[in-house]
């Protein structure tokens, strides 16, 4: 536990949400300092996927932006003795549209150079990027219904998979959704990623529909988030 106490005062200024595995693993809030590792884990976890094809520099800007945005949140799994190194993470947003707007305006100076470098090498990516920008409009929420939050990515280092780390992260995320008063959490998963779908179903997500994105079939799943009881809110 000494390592965890040291962590609390460490440079990252993280609050330890949960200490597990006898103090060897801690779940903390995702922070901009995790961006390089998050980009690396994303590329390892989603080889061949569109965001991965944008490259490490673009992903690093994304993961630096997300925890600083009012619309973004997430959790990281770290070894308290090496708090700088990310072992796994989950990221989410209360509004994909708001997050994209922020990246396309305030964060554009950071985003544009690495993005244009990738488009120069692979011009076809620009068309797929347009699809990404249009993504929030694919699932317009009916008027009067609170929009769901969206789980954007969950990545566990390959050597740590199937050891329950993903379960800890998704549990922390659902608890945070509940704390924020979010009624539902959506996730889009490649139809071919059956392992991830089993994982989501195990954590209360149910299948919603299938749509095409980047020429691939994508399944949308949703978890309902129970409202906090009045006693807990007080």
Ligand X SMILES: CC(C)(COP(=O)(O)OP(=O)(O)OC[C@H]1O[C@@H](n2cnc3c(N)ncnc32)[C@H](O)[C@@H]1OP(=O)(O)O)[C@@H](O)C(=O)NCCC(=O)NCCS
Handedness of CA 46, 56, 157, 83 (dihedral sign): negative
The span from the CA of 90 to the CA of 73, in Å, is: 9
- Specify the residue, 156 or 182, whose C-beta has the smaller distance to ligand X: 156
Burial bucket for residue 174 (CB in 10 Å: 0-12, 13-18, 19+): buried
Stretch that binds ligand X, among 142-150, 155-163, 171-179, 216-224 (CB under 6 A): 155-163
Distances (CA, A) of 19 to 117, 158, 174, 200: 41, 21, 17, 23
- Specify the residue, 154 or 177, whose C-beta has the smaller distance to ligand X: 154
Stretch that binds ligand X, among 26-34, 109-117, 163-171, 174-182 (CB under 6 A): 163-171
77 lies in the site for ligand X, by CB under 6 A? no
Choose which of 193, 208, 213, 218 interacts with ligand X (CB under 6 A).
Answer: 193
User: Can you list the positions of beta strands (E) in 43-96?
Assistant: 72-79, 82-93
226 lies in the site for ligand X, by CB under 6 A? no
CB of 109 to ligand X, least distance (A): 28
Contact 109, 62 (CB under 8 A): no
216 lies in the site for ligand X, by CB under 6 A? no
74 lies in the site for ligand X, by CB under 6 A? no
Choose which of 26, 28, 62, 154 interacts with ligand X (CB under 6 A).
Answer: 154
What lies within 8 Å, CB to CB, of 191 at 6+ separation is: 210, 216, 217, 218, 219
| Total residues binding ligand X (CB under 6 A) | 19
Binding site for ligand X (CB under 6 A): 45-46, 153-156, 161-167, 189, 193, 195-196, 198-199
């Amino acid at each position: 536990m000494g390592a965890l106490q040291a962590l609390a005062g460490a440079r990252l200024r993280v609050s330890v949400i949960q200490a597990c595995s006898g103090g060897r693993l801690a779940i903390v809030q995702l922070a901009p300092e995790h961006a390089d590792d998050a980009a690396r884990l994303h590329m390892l976890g989603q080889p061949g996927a569109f965001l991965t094809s944008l490259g490490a520099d673009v992903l690093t800007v994304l993961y630096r932006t997300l925890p600083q945005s009012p619309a973004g949140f997430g959790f990281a799994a770290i070894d308290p003795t090496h708090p700088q190194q990310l072992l796994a993470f989950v990221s989410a947003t209360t509004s994909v549209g708001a997050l994209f707007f922020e990246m396309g305006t305030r964060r554009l100076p950071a985003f544009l150079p690495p993005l244009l470098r990738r488009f120069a090498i692979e011009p076809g990516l620009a068309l797929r990027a347009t699809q990404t920008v249009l993504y929030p409009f694919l699932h317009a929420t009916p008027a009067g219904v609170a929009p769901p939050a969206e789980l954007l990515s969950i990545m566990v280092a390959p050597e740590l998979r199937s050891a329950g780390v993903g379960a800890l992260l998704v549990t922390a995320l659902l608890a945070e959704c509940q704390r924020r008063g979010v009624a539902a959490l959506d996730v889009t998963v490649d139809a071919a990623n059956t392992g991830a779908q089993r994982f989501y179903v195990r954590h209360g997500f149910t299948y919603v529909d299938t749509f095409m994105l980047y020429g691939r079939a994508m399944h949308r799943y949703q978890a309902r988030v129970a409202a906090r009881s009045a006693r807990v809110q007080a």
